[in-house]
Amino acid sequence: MDIDVAAADVSTANPSDIDIDPALQCGGATLPNYDGVADGDDRDDDAASDISDPDSDTLEVRADCARFDKQREAFVAEQRARSGVAGTVVSGLVHGQSVPGSGTSSSGSRPGGVRKIRRIGPRKAAKPTPDILFRLSKAKEAYERREYQSAVSMLSEIIRINSETYNAWTLLRTIHEELGDREKATMCEMTAALLVPKHIGVWMTAAQNALYGVEDMDDGPEKDKALERAIICYSHVLETDRSNIEARTGKADALMMQGRAYMAMQQYQRALQYRPLNIRTVRNIADVSLDAKDPKKSGEFAKKAYRHIIDHLQATGTLDAEEGRFEWSDLRIYLEFFAILEQWQAGAQELKEISRWLLGRRQESYWDGWPLDDREWDLHDDRRIQVPEFEPARYPQDTYGQGLPIDLRAKLYVYRRKLGHDDEAQAHLVLLDPTDDGAVDKFIDFPDCLKEIGLALMEGEKAEQALLYFNLYRRIAGLSGDMVVDADVHLSLGRCHMALGDKSAAEECFIAAIEDDEDNIEARVQLANMYEGEQEQEGREEAFLLVREAMNLEARQGDEADPKPRRRRGPYGPRKPRAKKERKPRDPNAPKKSKYVPRRLIDAEKRKQQDLEMTAEAVKNFQVVEELKDRAVAGDEQAAAAWMKAAKDLVDDFRSYKRFYPWEKYIKYLGYGGNVQGQSAIPARNMKLAAMAERLQQNLAPAEGQEHDQNSVAIKLPQEHRGIAFNRWLDIFLDYAFCLVRAGQHREAYVVCHAARDSTVWVSTENTFLIHVAWASCAVYAGDEETCVAIARYFMRDYMPGTDSYRMFTAMCRVCQTPVSWYTSGPAQKFILRQIKTMDNIIMKSDRPLAAAPGPADIGLDVCLLTIYGHILFSTTSYTYALSYFARAASLDPDNCLINLSIGLAYIHYALKRQATNRQYLLTQGFAFLFRYYNDRVAKPDTSLGQRMEAHFNIARAYSLIGLANLALEYYKKVLAEADTAADADRGLPVAAAAAVGNEDLTFEAAYNIRTICYLLGDVEGAKAVTHRYMVLE
């Protein structure tokens, strides 16, 4: 038996099949929620226990019920009086009350028996039968003998008989746990807990087992499933006991690990309502608040919760709170909210008051009367003795300035700097001197305060002093193995160097910030500002690239308005206060998002060395491409994969070379926006960035008369790159595009062809033609008619306007296995019509003598072009307009079989339209042209077998189109006769072998149509004969 199915049977047991007291039904009582997933504790305590007030309809139903009860009581009393039954009926008897002295039970059928009240909620599990008890004992014996598989089989049979056997589920859970299958063990334990829903201990144990090992799991479905089970278990506990703080915080911790911070905050807040002095809950609330999207909104609640605990502990004269002790780390977390809310004066006041309390001087509350200075925390008593209440010998010196942690003194400095109290700030800064001999030892436990001091100094335009603190931070990070110099520190260092005029050092810092954080916008903006002022165009180009990349990053971050919630590793159990989050160092093996590297990242010598390394890598990849090409074409999948990888590296290397592409194409390849001339492609959230990009673009854009100079660059280019000739590079590009389209990546293949076309290297007519032919082949292979039509325009407009180009256009659209939507689309139709109008204008403007009689050879019209446009109109059912263009084509080439066939079909289809006024005339005209086509095909002695079959078949189809099946049948028979004649001439060889190459064998199609006509006419034997002779596959 499937244990999961049995568990589902138990879990879905619903009390709805129990008879409910009508009084409770009328009263509108709500059944409790036993699904375990929904937060039943979300309701208010009072509202959850009260029954909703009845409305007028409910009162009427109750009145009817009471009236019915009285009538039933009167009837019962009358019957008992007649039968002499002892006892009286008590007035106002309700359902389920037995009559005194009646001796009847609720289930008895004797007169006067009253039905028992059925309580809402799940039923009690039935007592185990002797058979179940016997099977359980056997299963336990097998378990004790460690015969686990036998025990599991026995327990599964017990569950099949009665899935509500609690002991069977618990024993099964124990067996699975010993077998190491914790998932099944958890499911069995949760199923067993469903049988005792009010037993809190069982649910709590199930939750703890569900969370076993979750801290070591990676984020994924397995971890989500474990957390969801724990949440279900905690929810069941809260259904029974809303004030269970352990279940409440456990559920909140699991929600936090799932990244559902908002729901976790709600649970922590409810837990705080029951135990407002639980410091672990307050720490969790502070942790969630500091990591929230908008800490200002949630920070006020966390601040108040901390203040409540502080007031209570100060009143009781102790530091011990519930589940923890108030420590210096709690004060640091508490002060974070004052910084977030920018409450500098209040933060300074709270810092001094709580520090005084933690140092054992709470009685000296008179210091609160000196809010504008911090003389209380001086190292000496020089200023303190000026306060009348101060008693120098009352407390030790280490409870004043010497006892204040250095990071809190740094916070006092920041607060005073923010408030404009420069003298007090300077007094603190003297004690935070980074040049002291013991500065490293002093700050090594609190290095983050160095960043705070440095930022405050930068705001005060004291870059030289700020640089000392940032350098000390870098020094401590170098000595400590668990610290990193993140992008923010590099950015601050760069600003300091910029303020001091050291642009070289500033550049290195900004580049380091980009390397550490690839999404850092500010570092790119600072670098762009540096490069913009350079005289060389290369510097301005790099400034533009940096600005565009910053705008792309800004747009991407703006689109991620609802980012994926951050998951926690496991905050259940007593935790340490929240530590300052450090950025993890970037994985050096991870691929970079940006393709751009600032030009000054390396000096000239290193740049030359890098170019040599890249050349060697390109040569190596080229050798791989040459060696594996034949094996890849032969079908070797491993060779094809290695070939594509090497070819991709070569293509990317070529595309990243700026000299080979125009400026706009180059930055488009780098991915800095689709519209270079304007900013419409990227929402300009930062107007300064947009203005800077526009300014740089105008400076970099070539003037109107410089296009020729740009085109001349291609002539001066070398004949090779990385030691590989340019014609071989083109082969690599096109072969790589073919491989991509065969792998189903036709969009990527188009990009490669587009890159080859945009290059300034392959601008000759031969290379451009070759690129477009390859591009068209990719589109045909992918069945992309839109791209086929777009590329065909190049051949018709730019390469070689003429008959061959027009035929190529129709051939490409024909081989695409898609509907003719793009062949008949508006753009394609307008393009062909413009070509026709251009030819007409040339003819009309030509200077001819009126007496001259121009023949067809003198007229500059293209029959193929007119026929194409006629077919486009024909496909859109515009038969009248199509006939006019077919007629123009026929006037130029009256003996063309295709034109006659097209005109005939156009007339016939036009006759079948509802708007046709003279169908007989149209049909006559149509068949006249059809038979002209037919006679030209059949009468010529050099006509092949396939062409004769085609003529017979097309006439037959035309007759079938207008409903003349008898005439169509005759021409279908001629197709079969041609096949029989060919078979006899070839002594029984198949017709397909005897037909000429390039001609279609229509025997099967004709036989199929004859069979269909015979069925419709009722000739079943004829249809059967045709099928057996021509349609049986041998």
**Whether the predicted pLDDT of 544 surpasses 70:** yes
- Please give the residue that has the higher pLDDT: either 642 or 997: 642
* pLDDT for position 58: 58
* pLDDT for position 984: 67
Kindly report the number of other CB atoms within 10 A of residue 460's CB atom: 13
pLDDT band at residue 699, thresholds of 50, 70 and 90?
low
Closest alpha carbon to 220 in 259, 270, 164 = 259
**Whether the predicted pLDDT of 166 surpasses 80:** yes
* pLDDT for position 859: 47
* φ, ψ (nearest 5 deg) of residue 725: -65, 150
In this structure, CATH architecture of domain 940-1034 = Alpha Horseshoe (1.25)
Which of 163-167, 326-330, 678-682 has the lowest average pLDDT?
A: 678-682
Q: For all residues of the chain together, what is the average pLDDT?
A: 78
Annotate 617-635 with DSSP letters as a single string: HHHHHHHHHHHHHHHHHHT
CA trace torsion 977, 982, 983, 985 (10° rounding): 120
* pLDDT for position 335: 93
* pLDDT for position 40: 43
- Give pLDDT tens digits for 428-438: 999 999 988 88
- Based on its alpha-carbon atoms, the radius of gyration of the chain, rounded to whole angstroms, reads 45
**Whether the predicted pLDDT of 393 surpasses 90:** no
CA distances from 57 to 20, 60, 94, 95 (A): 19, 5, 21, 21
* pLDDT for position 369: 86
- Please give the residue that has the higher pLDDT: either 499 or 585: 499
**Whether the predicted pLDDT of 122 surpasses 70:** no
* pLDDT for position 61: 59
* pLDDT for position 329: 92
- Give pLDDT tens digits for 183-233: 888 899 888 888 888 888 889 988 888 888 888 788 888 888 888 988 999
* pLDDT for position 593: 45
Which distant-in-sequence residues (6+ apart) come within 8 Å of 902 by Cβ?
Answer: 867, 870, 871, 874, 882, 886
Average pLDDT (8-22) is 39
CATH topology of domain 130-274: 1.25.40
- Please give the residue that has the higher pLDDT: either 710 or 362: 362
Annotate 382-415 with DSSP letters as a single string: TTGGGSTT--TTTS-GGGTGGGS-HHHHHHHHHH
- Please give the residue that has the higher pLDDT: either 114 or 480: 480
* pLDDT for position 666: 62
Closest alpha carbon to 717 in 703, 705, 701, 729 = 729
Distance CA 738, CA 743 (A): 9
What residues pair up with 325 in beta bridges, in sequence order?
320
Closest alpha carbon to 654 in 746, 775, 760 = 760
End-to-end CA distance of the chain: 52
pLDDT band at residue 959, thresholds of 50, 70 and 90?
very high
Distance CA 34, CA 14 (A): 8
* pLDDT for position 700: 63
- Give pLDDT tens digits for 203-212: 998 888 888 8
* pLDDT for position 889: 92
* pLDDT for position 296: 83
- Give pLDDT tens digits for 802-861: 788 888 888 888 777 667 776 777 777 888 888 888 888 888 876 554 444 444 444 467
Same fold for the domain at 130-274 and the one at 940-1034? yes
- Give pLDDT tens digits for 764-789: 888 998 999 999 999 989 888 888 88
pLDDT band at residue 708, thresholds of 50, 70 and 90?
very low
**Whether the predicted pLDDT of 725 surpasses 60:** yes
Distance CA 971, CA 1001 (A): 15
Domain ranges of the chain: 19-120, 130-274, 420-482, 940-1034
Average pLDDT (133-147) is 90
Average pLDDT (653-678) is 65
* pLDDT for position 96: 40
- Give pLDDT tens digits for 851-910: 444 444 444 678 888 998 998 999 888 999 999 999 999 999 998 899 999 999 999 999
Most confident of 384-398, 682-696, 723-737: 723-737
**Whether the predicted pLDDT of 933 surpasses 90:** yes
Average pLDDT (53-80) is 62
Most confident of 290-299, 600-609, 710-719: 290-299
Average pLDDT (364-375) is 87
The model scores a pTM over 0.75: no
Which distant-in-sequence residues (6+ apart) come within 8 Å of 520 by Cβ?
Answer: 487, 491, 513, 514
**Whether the predicted pLDDT of 998 surpasses 50:** no
**Whether the predicted pLDDT of 447 surpasses 80:** yes
pLDDT band at residue 409, thresholds of 50, 70 and 90?
very high
Q: Are strands 720-721 and 724-725 parallel, antiparallel or unpaired?
A: antiparallel
Q: CB under 8 Å, gap of 24 or more: what pairs does 741-749 form?
A: 741/778, 741/781, 741/782, 742/781, 743/644, 746/778, 746/779, 746/781, 746/782, 746/784, 749/778, 749/782
- Please give the residue that has the higher pLDDT: either 508 or 216: 508
- Please give the residue that has the higher pLDDT: either 290 or 61: 290
Average pLDDT (234-258) is 88
Element (H, E) at 74: helix 56-83
What residues pair up with 513 in beta bridges, in sequence order?
none
Helix boundaries (H) for 707-825: 707-711, 713-716, 726-742, 746-758, 765-782, 785-794, 803-815
Tokens of 321: 């709170």
**Whether the predicted pLDDT of 704 surpasses 50:** no
* pLDDT for position 224: 86
* φ, ψ (nearest 5 deg) of residue 960: -65, -35
**Whether the predicted pLDDT of 707 surpasses 60:** no
Which distant-in-sequence residues (6+ apart) come within 8 Å of 361 by Cβ?
Answer: 395, 399
